[in-house]
Structure 1
Amino acid sequence: MHYRMNKSIVLIFCMTIIVTFSQAQISLKKLKKAVTGESVSTEEVAAGLKEALTNGVSKGSDLVSALDGYYKNPEIKIPFPPEVKQVETKLRQVGMGSEVDKFILALNRGAEDAAKEAKPIFVSAIKQMTIQDAWSILRGEKDAATQYLKKTTTAQLTEKFKPIIKQSLEKTNATKYYSDLVNAYNKLPFVQKVNPNLDDYATQKGIDGLFVMIAKEEKVIREDPAARTSDLLKKVFSQK
């Protein structure tokens, strides 16, 4: 009887040690995972962010390059150049409102047309993103990746985008309409002559609109698990 009791005690003691050791192993694994982040590598984070940005750029570009992508989107619709707002106001006062509207439509059509060519420019820029910024972007604000892309690529994008949108503005007759409007305005009595650069204005507004839509797509991927359409995206964004 005494022997059986001792044997039972030893067995219980051994089982307790095994269970305790197993629990300690699990805790150590969790601690190691939390401290080292071994569940996802920095390479995976960088790849995931690039995939997310590429998805956002693709969707954003597709949205704005569609018919009325700019024109019927109040967030990014390109208005008459504000620095010469008096031109629009005066021309509408003298009965040229329909001509002004025609120009605004052509201006936005030009941006929509140019946006079709913007996607590969953005994708190329995304590929240049360094791994060092990966974790800070992942754990940053809802538009951190978009802001990073904006900060590091705007100058290059402007240089490449400007000739594209210049060609598109000519294609949609926006340049001609604008020239006609400015010439008509400059012929009015008692007005100060104007001639701002339409290409610069349209380029900047076109790029701004693209970034607005890209930021929206990034926000969706960050907040909505259903928008993470690959295993890599699910793995990376689960780390936040």
Structure 2
Amino acid sequence: MLPKSLILIAPLMLCAATFQDALNSAINTTSSTQKSTPTNSLTSQSSATSGVKEALSLGAQQAISLLGKEGGFLNNSAVKIPLPASLKPVATAAEKLGGKRYVDDFSKSMNTAATKAIPKTASILSDTISSMSVEDANAIVKGSNTAATDYFKTKSGTKLLSAIMPIIKESISENQVMSSYQSLKGFAGESSVISGVSNNALVGQASSIAKGFGLGDAVPSGDESIEDYIGRKTLDGLFYMIAEKEKALRSNPLSSGNAIIQQVFGK
């Protein structure tokens, strides 16, 4: 038979043991949570970064593929480079006098120059994606429908312009753009004389446009040359196509067929 004193303290010993077990369990649970939370967070951040990079890559690849093929700019009304506003009066006059083909030739020469330049953007876009930080990726996931495209513009806009300008200048130096412009200007001036239309204002306007585009005298300070105009419009088209792809992926991640993109943008 157990001593009376032992019988009295047994419940106390049992309670103490139970409390210690509970305390140990709580400590272990807290420790496990503290260890797993950073890991889960890192996994989530890694997934976000991978998803954004995949989305950017898809957008860039599709844009370059579509714009870099023959007629990529010319046959796409959303990105087709229009005649500069300052040239439209001459173009309108030429069309009225039966010279629409001269206007079309000039438009085609500009858009062809843009198409030739687009493949040069591939490596820069790829490098921009590779250098993306976790912070950048998280901001893009939480950002607007074009946050990834805006990231491209900010991080690589200047580099992209520098990369495509030599190709555009080469197209101009080969007289594709310049000869088309001169043909348009010449037709508008000569036809207005033949038809009896006063051409003084038209010829003066054409001369002014030539200087503004760098096709005649020196370009006045602050004016945009034709090559700068084409370069700017080329990047506008590129970013437009990337933005369209980004918006499509965000609205329907399943369409990508990519598990990581679906995980990140499907939330």
Paired AA for residue 53 in structure 2: K
Provide the aligned C-alpha RMSD in A.
2.9
CA contact (8 A) 1:56 1:218 kept: yes
For the residue of structure 2 that corresponds to 1:51, the secondary structure is helix
How far is the alpha carbon of 1:115 from its aligned partner? 1.4
Q: Pick one of 162, 175, 179 that aligns with 1:176.
A: 179
Deviates more, 1:158-167 or 1:208-217: 158-167
Q: Percent identity at matched positions? A: 30
How far is the alpha carbon of 1:67 from its aligned partner? 2.1
CA gap of 1:127–1:87, structure 2 versus 1, over 3 A, is farther
Alignment of 1:237 with 2:252, yes or no, is: no
Paired AA for residue 129 in structure 1: M
Alignment of 1:142 with 2:157, yes or no, is: no
Alignment of 1:194 with 2:240, yes or no, is: no
Partner of 2:246: 218
CA gap of 1:229–1:165, structure 2 versus 1, over 3 A, is farther
Specify the structure having the higher radius of gyration (Cα).
2
Alignment partners' CA distance in 2, 1:179 and 1:40: 60
CA contact (8 A) 2:99 2:187 kept: no
Q: State the aligned residue count.
A: 211
Partner of 2:102: 99
Paired AA for residue 226 in structure 1: L
Alignment of 1:69 with 2:79, yes or no, is: no
1:101-133 superposed Cα distances (whole Å, 9 cap, x missing partner): 111122212212221222222222222333222
How far is the alpha carbon of 1:50 from its aligned partner? 1.6
Paired AA for residue 114 in structure 1: A
For the residue of structure 2 that corresponds to 1:152, the secondary structure is helix
Partner of 1:129: 132
Partner of 2:24: none
Alignment partners' CA distance in 2, 1:40 and 1:147: 25
Query: Which structure 2 residues correspond to residues 23-34 of structure 1 after superposition, within 5 A?
Result: none
Q: Pick one of 112, 115, 131 that aligns with 2:115.
A: 112
CA contact (8 A) 2:74 2:80 kept: yes
Deviates more, 1:123-132 or 1:143-152: 123-132
Alignment partners' CA distance in 2, 1:58 and 1:71: 19
Partner of 1:21: none
Alignment partners' CA distance in 2, 1:88 and 1:118: 31
Paired AA for residue 113 in structure 1: K
Partner of 1:16: none
**Please, which runs of 5 or more residues in structure 2 have no aligned partner?**
1-28, 191-198, 214-224
Give the TM-score taking structure 1 as reference length: 0.75
Alignment partners' CA distance in 1, 2:172 and 2:132: 31
How far is the alpha carbon of 1:77 from its aligned partner? 0.8
- Which of structure 1's runs of 4+ aligned residues deviate more than 4 A? 169-172, 182-188
Q: Pick one of 202, 205, 210 that aligns with 2:233.
A: 205
Alignment partners' CA distance in 2, 1:171 and 1:88: 22
**Please, which runs of 5 or more residues in structure 1 have no aligned partner?**
1-24
Q: Pick one of 49, 56, 61 that aligns with 2:59.
A: 56
